[in-house]
Amino acid sequence: MIALLNTPTQNVIRPGLPVSESEPVIEKITHDFLKLLQIYHATPVETLQACSQDGEWAIKDTFAVVSAWVWRCAALLEAAHISNGPLLAEPDVDGLNQEFYNNRQNWTCIDVEVDFCKSHQALLAVLKQLPPERLADKAILETIATQIHQRHAQCYVRSQVRSHSSFQADNT
């Protein structure tokens, strides 16, 4: 079992208190992050590190690559504090995925977990600093949807598929 690190739980919507414009976005990211971290903790290390037979990345590697995308998104959003210019770049997704994977493939499960937590803490800090009108901007919301929510979904799907495959292999 992987050790639980300092997670960004201070960003939850609190009943009875006014909700700022940024809290729903921050709440969703925090909720997704905590759910993924819970899945990561519940997955045996052997399953986290196991590559699939079809050559797909291990769960650990998927989390590591997603963490790199979160760092990238935090940097883009920080640079987009005033204008959408930084968000207009069309990244080479396959190239960046491969680069992120190559840079992190030898990381331990704990290294990946630490980076995953730190990347999300950095992202939440950037989001909290954005003016409400910027956080409501369509380009910023689309960036969060593609750079964060879709990548979180990749972690979830990969961990569910790999855990289910591991369970089936153990029970045959």
Q: What is the pLDDT of residues 12-36, one digit of tens each?
A: 333 333 334 456 888 999 999 999 9
Instruction: State pTM to two decimals.
Output: 0.81
**Four-residue CA torsion sign, 139, 82, 64, 160:** negative
Instruction: Say how many C-beta atoms besides its own lie within 10 A of residue 82's C-beta.
Output: 9
CATH number at residue 39: 1.20.120
Closest by CA to 11, choosing from 41, 33, 42, is: 33
Residue 95 lies in a domain: yes
Question: Which of 12-21, 23-32, 89-98, 118-127 has the lowest average pLDDT?
Answer: 12-21
With CA atoms as reference, report the closest residue to 73 among 156, 141, 21, 154.
141
Tell me, yes or no, whether 23 lies in a domain. no
What is the extent of the structural domain holding 150?
A: 35-167
Confidence of residue 11 (pLDDT cuts 50, 70, 90): very low
CA distance 142 to 149: 10
Q: Which helix (H) or strand (E) holds 124?
A: helix 109-129
Residue 84 lies in a domain: yes
Q: What is the mean pLDDT of residues 143-169?
A: 77
Residue at 110 is within a domain: yes
User: In whole angstroms, what is the distance from residue 131 CA to residue 119 CA?
Assistant: 21
Report the alpha-carbon angle 136-156-22, nearest 5.
20
For residues 32 and 13, give the distance between their C-alpha atoms in angstroms, rounded to a whole number. Answer: 14
Domain membership of residue 7 (yes or no) is no
Q: Percentage of residues in the chain with pLDDT exceeding 70?
A: 80
Looking at residues 98-124, what average pLDDT do you find? 96
For residue 142, being part of any structural domain is answered with: yes
**Identity of the amino acid at 13:** I
pLDDT value for 162:
57
Q: How far apart are CA 64 and CA 106, in angstroms?
A: 10
Compute the CA torsion angle 93, 113, 44, 46 (nearest 10 deg): 60
